[in-house]
Amino acid sequence: MQEQAGLELSGVGKVFTADGRRRTVLTGIDLTVAPGEVVALLGPSGCGKSTVLRLAGGLDTPTSGTVSVDGRPVRGIEPRCAVVFQEPRLLPWRTLHCNVAYGLPRGVTGVKARQEVERWLTVVGLSAFAQHRPRQLSGGMAQRAALARALARRPGVLLLDEPFAALDALTRLRMQDLLADVQRAAGTTVLLVTHDVDEALHLADRIVLLGAGDSTPDGAATIRLVLPIPGVRPRDRGDATLAELRAGLLAELGVGTPAHS
């Protein structure tokens, strides 16, 4: 089993400054993700979902508030987290085996390192492609390799920034099922950024909807809604309960509803 860690953001705000102008992107973000939980961040483009993810992983620092993993403050790049981005970001001059090995924790070498890499390549169905270069892989295969590299790190928290957005529809569904299977077996805590309501409903224990609040400054995003998803994962995509939740979430996002005059 992977390491498990809780994630907490308390009173988190983020202000960006460009050309001497300040823009508040996030304000008052309070979010606790329990060890082993899968939480999806949903919201319109530009609402700060990826910024929350970057703050959680220590890739950026909050302007206000605190971020902690297992009760310890995040300061700089957080070694207890691993990130999978929308693009696989594999090293083109390395084989698939070497790309996955790049994610191993410091100190894991030799036979143990080879066994760990082989294990994760098998988990994501790529053991036969260990000596291939990234250019020889399809988009879905490359993203599976990126997931294997992140999991090889044995992260306490796995941070996923729209990892399947660039894939075709069928490959995306397969990757969702793969992620669900891997997470269930490994028990890793997951924070997932997505634009896809169906993806969030299928994968998450809770959905956190970000967006501008009535009283937030300059249209800054805050948490508008936290929605627990009933039932045990994996869920049936055709479940009527999920269809009802989907309609409600789309309405919250302003999709399929008439515009206000």
Looking at the predicted structure, is the pLDDT value of residue 95 above 80?
A: yes
Range in 6-15, 47-56, 205-214 with the lowest mean pLDDT: 205-214
pLDDT range class, residue 21, cuts 50, 70, 90: confident
Domain termination site, one of 154, 186, 205 = 154
In total, how many domains does the chain have?
2
- pLDDT over threshold 50, residue 181: yes
51 exposure class (CB count in 10 Å sphere: 0-12, 13-18, 19+): buried
| Mean model confidence pLDDT for the chain | 90
Tens digit of each residue's pLDDT (9 = 90 or more) over 99-157: 999 999 888 889 999 999 999 999 999 999 999 999 999 999 999 999 999 999 999 99
- What confidence score (pLDDT) does residue 216 get? 62
Could you tell me the residue range of the domain that residue 99 belongs to? 89-154
Specify the CATH number for the domain of residue 53: 3.40.50.300
Residues 108 and 237 in one domain: no
Say if CB 224 and CB 210 are below 8 A apart: yes
Residue 206 lies in a domain: yes
Structure confidence at residue 42 (pLDDT)? 96
Same domain flag for 161 and 145: no
**What distance in Å separates the CA atoms of residue 149 and residue 238, rounded to the nearest whole number?**
32
